[in-house]
């Protein structure tokens, strides 16, 4: 698969095809190792030049994260978070059990949702990165406004899972943590291609704080 435009890629997509030869010469040794093993990289939010996509490389430990980019014509395969929803995992980590628990709830929302983070990486690649303390990271694509009361109810419903669930609302302008949007703070942190900034409403660009 060759990607023709960066618009067809979204944050949290997993991509295969980054060659080790494309890495900066000063990249850490572990980055060359995992890329050489053919592990996927994850699309991240950042502005890059035409023909490129911003990606992150993940290592074996939590502190091993490396930001770089890859050429669109190097992409051989893409897996989106939504493609991992219905997978039946072989492993029995709490994060994967939690996925089974909350699947009916997420499906009932009627919005596209997917699995990201460590659980998504392991489900898509087969590379064992989960452990007993891993959270379950989910995304929910929310093109239209969701009020804070609705968000608070969803937080309560997810709280009964066997592990902590971190859900990000993917708005047209960026991403905001469900738990933060459901909270009392007037402004919340919105992650965008130009960095993170405080906003009153993650669906309205004009209310972004200076």
In the listed set 79, 114, 134, which residue is the last one of a domain according to the structure? 79
pLDDT digit string, tens, across residues 133-186: 999 999 999 999 999 999 999 999 999 999 999 999 999 999 999 999 999 999
| In-domain check, residue 110 | yes
Mark which of 47, 79, 111 sits at the end of a domain: 79
121, 199: one domain: yes
Q: Decide if 15 contacts 77 (C-beta within 8 A).
A: yes
Q: What is the pLDDT of residue 86?
A: 87
Instruction: Select from 48, 63, 79 the last residue of a domain.
Output: 79
Question: Is 61 in contact with 47 (CB distance < 8 Å)?
Answer: no
User: 201 with 111, same domain?
Assistant: yes
- Shared domain for 200 and 129, answered yes or no, is yes
Residue 202 and residue 164 in one domain: yes
Q: Is the residue at 117 inside a domain?
A: yes
pLDDT-derived band at 5, boundaries 50, 70, 90: low
Query: With 0-12 CB in 10 A as exposed, 13-18 as middle and 19+ as buried, what is 119?
Result: buried
Domain assignment of residue 1, yes or no: no
Same domain (yes/no): 74, 96? no
Tens of pLDDT, residues 68-83: 999 999 999 999 999 9
57 and 134 part of one domain: no
Distance CA 193, CA 87 (A): 30
Active site residues: 135, 137
Say how many domains are in the chain: 2
Asked if 88 and 71 sit in the same domain, the reply is no
List, for residues 80-130, the tens digit of each pLDDT value: 999 999 887 777 899 999 999 999 999 999 999 999 999 999 999 999 999
pLDDT at residue 2 tops 70: no
The per-residue pLDDT for range 17-67, each reduced to its tens digit, is 999 999 999 999 999 999 999 999 999 999 999 999 999 999 988 889 999
Do residue 41 and residue 71 come from a single domain?
A: yes
Tell me if 124 is assigned to some domain.
yes
Domain that includes residue 22, residue range: 6-79
Q: How confident is the model at residue 6 (pLDDT cuts 50, 70, 90)?
A: low
162 and 202 co-located in one domain? yes
Residues 108 and 169 in one domain: yes
Same domain, 55 and 126: no
What pLDDT does 208 receive? Answer: 44
Regarding whether 100 and 36 lie in a shared domain, the answer is no
Distances (CA, A) of 91 to 56, 85, 151, 202: 25, 15, 30, 36
User: Rounded to whole angstroms, what are the CA distances from 16 to 87, 89, 138?
Assistant: 19, 21, 21
Residues 93, 118 contacting (CB under 8 angstroms)? no
pLDDT for res 207: 44
């Amino acid at each position: 698969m060759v990607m023709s435009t960066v618009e067809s890629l979204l944050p949290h997509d997993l991509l295969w095809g980054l060659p080790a030869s494309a890495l900066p010469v000063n990249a850490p040794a572990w980055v060359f190792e995992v890329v050489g093993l053919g592990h996927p990289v994850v699309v991240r939010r950042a502005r890059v030049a035409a023909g490129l996509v911003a990606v992150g490389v993940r290592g074996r430990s939590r502190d091993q994260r490396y930001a770089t980019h890859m050429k669109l014509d190097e992409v051989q395969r893409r897996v989106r978070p939504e493609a991992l929803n219905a997978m039946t995992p072989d492993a029995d980590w709490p994060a994967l059990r939690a996925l089974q628990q909350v699947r009916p709830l997420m499906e009932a929302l009627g919005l596209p949702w997917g699995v990201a983070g460590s659980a998504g990486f392991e489900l898509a690649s087969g590379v064992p990165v989960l452990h007993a303390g891993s959270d379950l990271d989910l995304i929910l694509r929310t093109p239209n406004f969701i009020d804070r009361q609705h968000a608070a109810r969803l937080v309560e419903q997810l709280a009964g899972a066997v592990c902590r669930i971190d859900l990000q609302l993917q708005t047209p302008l960026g991403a905001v943590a469900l738990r933060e949007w459901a909270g009392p703070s007037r402004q919340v942190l919105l992650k965008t291609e130009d960095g993170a900034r405080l906003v009153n409403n993650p669906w309205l660009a004009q209310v972004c704080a200076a």
